[in-house]
């Protein structure tokens, strides 16, 4: 009988224990086959997968097929109940992606119909944001800039989702005036590079209707930027903000620990909540029994922690949301709801109340990385009712379809301005150009997307204590 050690790669600092599971594998001196890899995949999933009891029996699976396809074949109700588990043929690439390291131009884009009457016609790509330090930023691109062609091809419903996948791209730029898109005749040729993403796009404080309003745009929960996150709230606190707007409309998730940190920084009366329950995790029966035996109920509970930069005096928080708002972003909303008013401005969220951790083979017989769903989260009241395709519904519905785009943090940017006018309406002057410039156009698709689709994954991941399973 052979034993294969599975290492769950810790994506946040946590206790590390060895974990053994019985698996049928080839001898170390032979070349592993698909059957070897698939046996390892099955046993790993049987131990950790949230819906392990809904997997097919091992004997009913085809162990000879490609491991990428095998992984998908054993998922529970794939595409519906499980919309989230994934596998990568390179665990290195997988871990890099989760940590915000990707080969990119550095743009997030919304797709607009050039002719509102032709849903399958040509498309204009409008930049939603540009990542700091990226090739796009260095070339001078910014939010609101328009791309009409890529590699001299017009963009349409058939190619827009893949047209930006090449490493080097020639971008034909456009403009929007008099309610129409047109070419500027200018082209930019850019090459993607691998960079570490800085998820903090902007933080600012503005005076509005007698209030000091903090605004913060955040695109991914990355632990290496936790100190920067704390510094943002240190600035908010020092400037005495009394209203807070968090822009998560482009945030597809990330580390649970960073989501919990942001909860600590926002929640009202943190001092009274320290060491009380923020949220809980639910695992499958096998893993639950092992964790309970090893650590007791504390293995499932996350408590509030003291954070000196917590604002503390806020009675409410505004969250700007979209269909891209997912996972760790939704976790914050659920964490805060029992303790303060959470006002959602924008569109419904993605709907992901489950998370994962990475599984690799420490013997390096293969390089596959598994990212299966391994837990569900509930808040301090045991609530977790947003795990549907509609996610959380907004209190105030706004769509990112008003042109021209204004800079993030601009008080007259569509989403932010909606939140500000809830805080306190400010009248426009009758001759205001700000008001007259707002033109609504049709989006080709609801969700914004990136030049590297790996950035559009919806993730919430953790590194739970790892215990032996016998």
The CATH number covering residue 141 comes to 2.30.42.10
- pLDDT score for 463: 60
Residues 234 and 307 placed together within one structural domain of the fold: yes
Three-class HEC string of the chain: CCEEEEEEECCCCCCCCCCEEECCCCCCCCCCCHHHHHHHHHHHHHHHCCCHHHCCCHHHCCCCCCHHHHHHHCCCCECCCECCCEEECCHHHHHHHHCCEEEECCEEEEEEECCCCCCCCEEEEEEEEECCCCHHHHCCCCCCCEEEEECCEECECCCCCCCCCCCEEEEEEEEEECCEEEEEEEEEEEECEEEECCCEEEEEEEEECCEEEEEEEECCECHHHHHHHHHHHHHHHHCCCCEEEEECCCCCEEEHHHHHHHHHHHCECHHHCECCEEEEEECCHHHHHHHHHHHHHHHHEEEECCCCCCCECCCEEEEEECCCCCCHHHHHHHHHCCCCEEEEEECCCCCCCEEECEEEECCCCCCCEEECEEEEEEECCCCCCCCCCCCCCCCEECCCCEECCCCCCCCCCHHHHHHHHHHCCCCCCCCCHHHHCCEECCECCCCCEECCHHHHCCEEECCCCCCCCC
- pLDDT score for 245: 98
Residues 246 and 190 placed together within one structural domain of the fold: no
**Domain assignment present for 267:** yes
- pLDDT score for 30: 66
CATH of the domain at 348: 3.90.226.10
**Of 157, 177, 196, which residue sits at a domain end?**
196
Number of separate domains in the chain: 2
Structural domain containing residue 153: 102-196
Residues 167 and 250 placed together within one structural domain of the fold: no
**Domain assignment present for 39:** no
Series of mean pLDDT values for 10-residue runs along the chain (470 residues):
36 31 42 94 95 98 97 96 94 88 95 92 97 97 98 94 94 96 97 96 97 97 97 98 98 95 98 97 94 90 98 95 96 98 97 93 92 96 95 97 96 97 74 63 92 82 52
**Domain assignment present for 48:** no
**Domain assignment present for 80:** no
Residues 169 and 317 placed together within one structural domain of the fold: no
pTM, full prediction: 0.89
Residues 131 and 206 placed together within one structural domain of the fold: no
**200-208 and 277-282 as β-strands: parallel, antiparallel, unpaired?**
unpaired
Residues 140 and 252 placed together within one structural domain of the fold: no
**Of 173, 196, 219, which residue sits at a domain end?**
196
Residues 108 and 239 placed together within one structural domain of the fold: no
- pLDDT score for 323: 95
**Domain assignment present for 131:** yes
**Domain assignment present for 242:** yes
Residues 416 and 288 placed together within one structural domain of the fold: yes
- pLDDT score for 466: 53
**Domain assignment present for 326:** yes
- pLDDT score for 39: 97
Residues 204 and 332 placed together within one structural domain of the fold: yes
**Of 128, 163, 196, which residue sits at a domain end?**
196
Residues 114 and 230 placed together within one structural domain of the fold: no
- pLDDT score for 461: 66
**Domain assignment present for 187:** yes
Residues 289 and 410 placed together within one structural domain of the fold: yes
Residues 216 and 287 placed together within one structural domain of the fold: yes
């Amino acid at each position: 009988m052979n034993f294969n050690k599975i290492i769950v790669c810790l994506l946040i600092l946590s206790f590390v224990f060895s974990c053994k599971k019985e698996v049928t594998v080839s001898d170390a001196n032979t070349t592993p086959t698909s059957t070897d890899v698939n046996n390892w995949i099955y046993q790993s999933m049987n131990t950790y997968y949230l819906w392990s009891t809904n997997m097919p029996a091992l004997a009913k699976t085809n162990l000879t097929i490609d491991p990428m396809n095998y992984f998908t074949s054993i998922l529970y109700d794939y595409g519906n109940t499980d919309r989230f588990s994934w596998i990568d043929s390179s665990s290195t690439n997988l871990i890099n992606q989760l940590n915000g390291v990707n080969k990119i131009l550095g743009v997030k884009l919304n797709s607009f119909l050039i002719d509102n009457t032709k849903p399958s016609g040509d498309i204009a790509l409008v930049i939603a944001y540009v990542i700091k330090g990226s090739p796009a930023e260095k070339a001078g691109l910014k939010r609101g800039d328009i791309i009409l062609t890529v590699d001299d091809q017009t963009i349409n419903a058939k190619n827009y989702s893949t047209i930006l996948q090449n490493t080097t791209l020639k971008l034909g730029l456009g403009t929007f005036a008099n309610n129409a898109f047109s070419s500027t005749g200018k082209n930019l040729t850019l090459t993607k590079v691998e960079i570490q993403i800085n998820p903090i796009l902007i933080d600012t404080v503005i005076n509005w209707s007698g209030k000091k309003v903090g605004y913060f745009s955040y695109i991914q929960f990355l632990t290496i930027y936790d100190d920067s996150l704390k510094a943002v709230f240190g600035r908010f606190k020092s400037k005495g903000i009394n209203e807070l707007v968090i822009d998560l409309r482009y945030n597809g998730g990330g580390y649970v620990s960073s989501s919990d940190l942001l909860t600590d920084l926002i929640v009202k009366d943190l001092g009274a909540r320290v060491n009380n329950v923020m949220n809980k995790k639910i695992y499958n029966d096998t893993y639950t029994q092992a964790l309970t035996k090893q650590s007791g109920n504390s293995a499932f509970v996350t408590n509030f922690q003291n954070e000196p930069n917590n604002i503390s005096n806020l009675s409410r928080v505004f969250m700007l949301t979209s269909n891209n708002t997912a996972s760790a972003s939704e976790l914050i909303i659920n964490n805060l709801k029992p303790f303060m008013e959470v006002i959602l401005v924008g569109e419904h969220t993605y709907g992901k109340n489950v998370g994962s951790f990475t599984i690799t083979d420490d013997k390096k017989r293969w390089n596959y990385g598994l990212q299966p769903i391994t837990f569900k989260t509930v808040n301090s009241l045991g609530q977790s009712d947003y795990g549907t395709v509609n996610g959380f519904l907004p209190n105030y519905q706004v769509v990112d379809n008003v042109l021209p785009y204004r800079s993030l943090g601009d008080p007259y940017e569509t989403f932010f301005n909606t939140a500000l006018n809830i805080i306190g309406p400010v009248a426009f002057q009758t001759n205001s150009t700000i008001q007259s410039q707002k033109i609504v156009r049709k989006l080709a698709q609801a969700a914004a997307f990136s030049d590297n689709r790996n950035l559009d994954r919806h993730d919430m991941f953790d590194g739970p204590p790892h215990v032996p399973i016998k």
